[in-house]
Structure 1
Amino acid sequence: MTPKPVHDLAHIAHAELLTPYPDESLRFFVDLFGMEIEHQEGQSVFLRGWGEYQPYGLKLTESELPGLGHTAI
């Protein structure tokens, strides 16, 4: 039996994407989605979308392999 879904999630606070192509990934989210760079630290860039009330919505981190670093809800 499949459990009944809970619809209590309003939004995802932020997500970290791991990318072996940091420059291309950054251009994708900035140029196509209109996100803005909020902060850079080490191998990571923190991006914010229009109307977000969190400090950032997406963290792009350079990595040897692509993947999901983490999400926060």
Structure 2
Amino acid sequence: MIEKILDGNFRIETLQDEQGRRYYSIKIAFSNDDILTVYKENMQDLMEVLPNIISSAIKARVLTDAVVNY
């Protein structure tokens, strides 16, 4: 049996501000009301926080399931 634990839209983008500085962002949408966006100044920093983002999303899902099933 396969159970979907997390599902969502995942996007990595580059942005440029008015002074020409480049930023990188990860945007993860788990639902219309549950969207997480993280901005960093370089791709390396963005990749370093990615495991924490995924881990936190899984923990939040587990807690949500626990509350619903309680």
Per the normalisation by structure 2, the TM-score is 0.29
Higher strand proportion (structure 1 or 2): 1
Greater Rg by CA: 2
Higher helix proportion (structure 1 or 2): 2
Higher relative contact order (CA 8 A, sep 6+): 1
